[in-house]
């Protein structure tokens, strides 16, 4: 047996300043449950800190814009439902607005009110769902999301009653809407709207002061005001950074100039501000809905001239304040029944371009929350 003494090994101890780690590159997705669709993030990590992030999409591309150039103007209306499939009503409106500008079509007053009502109901169910999904990304057991889905179902019931479909509504038409509201619809809508503030009170009590939400969302994923403006960010993400810009106020499209509502603004531009802006905007949507339901006039709901039309050679851009930001359609007519050029300006895609800026220096777990706070739907990103 060898009894020679074995000298202890020497280990080099690094101080904090000298510590070096390898950069780890990982792919989150396309199947990751927190990426809100078929989407991938290629992330470079120093430890758990994000040092580089590349959004990768295109898995859901359906050639929407090229298909629209080979079909009639009206034939493209159902395709708009499939962009942001949470918000088919507002998708319909933005496209209809672009065609109406190009063709010079008028919209009856009752139809304008119906459009506002459908758009604000869409905003309610979109924002409630976003808050629910965000808490799910934070690791909540699912209770807030189930509360949100419960309220969303009441609104989808109204959509189904009016249009025959819960999500792919295909309800709006050039010069108005497809059909008038069924008997009893307005009364039921008033009930849903009147009950919604009670849900909001419950939701806010449960979430706004929650210790985990505060610690995980405050000062995380900050989007500076100047970057938000320069990157053409719109909607709640822009207003969370303190920029007072809402197309309902700027363009006053439809009959929005008849309603009294405020535009909530954040001050930091972090995940918590984006979370709070959605909650506050739902309060304002309820105010708009109550005013619209109380003053909606009688009358026709569409322009008969819009059934058969062929726009003269022209171009137009129609935009609205969708729940996720500015949704716009750019159309070019060559005088035929089909658009010569058709392009969508989707808020989900534009807002996603600053994801890396918001994630740099944050932890990998925070990247999931930051993505959730932007509120994207991949049907709109890929088109």
* The pLDDT of residue 34: 59
How high is the mean pLDDT in each 10-residue block of the chain (383 residues)?
Answer: 50 51 82 71 89 88 89 91 90 94 91 96 94 85 85 94 92 92 95 94 88 90 94 94 94 94 93 94 96 94 78 92 95 91 93 92 90 88 84
Convert the pLDDT of each residue in 10-51 to its tens digit: 544 445 555 556 788 888 878 766 566 788 889 999 888 899
Distance of alpha carbon 292 from alpha carbon 280, whole angstroms: 19
Distance of alpha carbon 376 from alpha carbon 53, whole angstroms: 17
Convert the pLDDT of each residue in 89-110 to its tens digit: 999 999 999 999 998 888 999 9
Q: Mean pLDDT over all residues of the chain?
A: 88
* The pLDDT of residue 14: 46
* The pLDDT of residue 85: 86
Q: Assign residue 6 a region (left: φ > 0; alpha: ψ between -120 and 50; beta: otherwise).
A: beta
Q: Which of 1, 14, 30 is nearest to 382 (CA)?
A: 30
* The pLDDT of residue 9: 47
| DSSP secondary structure code for residue 363 in this structure | B
Residue 91 near residue 163 (C-beta atoms within 8 A) = no
Distance of alpha carbon 155 from alpha carbon 15, whole angstroms: 59
* The pLDDT of residue 223: 94
Distance of alpha carbon 236 from alpha carbon 213, whole angstroms: 18
Helix (H) or strand (E) holding 286: helix 271-295
């Amino acid at each position: 047996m060898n009894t020679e003494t074995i000298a202890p090994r020497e280990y080099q101890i690094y101080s904090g300043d000298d510590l070096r780690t390898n950069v780890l590159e990982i792919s989150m997705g396309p199947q990751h449950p927190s990426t809100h669709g078929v989407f991938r993030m290629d992330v470079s990590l120093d430890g758990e800190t994000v040092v580089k992030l590349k959004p990768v999409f295109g898995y859901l591309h359906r050639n929407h814009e090229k298909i629209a150039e080979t079909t009639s103007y009206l034939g493209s209306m159902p395709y708009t439902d499939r962009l942001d499939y949470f918000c088919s009503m507002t998708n319909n409106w933005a496209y209809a607005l672009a065609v109406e500008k190009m063709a010079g079509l008028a919209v009856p007053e009752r139809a304008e009110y119906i459009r506002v009502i459908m758009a604000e109901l869409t905003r309610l169910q979109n924002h409630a769902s976003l808050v629910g999904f965000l808490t799910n990304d934070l690791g909540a057991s699912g209770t807030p999301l189930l509360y949100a889905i419960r309220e969303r179902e009441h609104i989808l019931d109204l959509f189904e009653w009016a249009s025959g479909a819960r999500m792919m509504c295909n309800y709006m038409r050039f010069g108005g809407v497809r059909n008038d509201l069924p008997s009893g619809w307005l009364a039921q809508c008033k009930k849903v709207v009147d009950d919604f503030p009670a849900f909001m009170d419950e939701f806010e009590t449960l979430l706004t002061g929650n210790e985990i939400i505060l610690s995980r969302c405050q000062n995380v994923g900050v989007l500076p005001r100047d970057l938000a403006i320069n990157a053409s960010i719109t909607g709640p993400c822009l207003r969370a950074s303190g920029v007072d810009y809402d197309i309902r106020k700027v363009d006053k499209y439809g009959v929005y100039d008849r309603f009294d509502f405020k535009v909530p603004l954040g001050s930091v531009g972090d995940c918590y501000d984006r979370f709070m802006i959605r909650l506050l905007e739902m309060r304002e949507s309820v105010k708009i809905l109550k005013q619209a339901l109380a003053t909606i006039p009688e009358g026709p709901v569409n322009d008969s001239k819009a059934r058969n039309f062929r726009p003269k050679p022209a171009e137009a851009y129609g935009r609205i304040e969708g729940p996720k930001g500015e949704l716009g359609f750019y159309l070019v007519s060559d005088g035929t029944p089909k658009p010569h050029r058709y392009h969508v300006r989707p808020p989900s895609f534009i807002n996603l371009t600053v994801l890396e800026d918001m994630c740099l220096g944050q932890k990998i777990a925070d990247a999931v929350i930051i993505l959730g706070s932007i509120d994207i739907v991949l049907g709109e990103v890929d088109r």
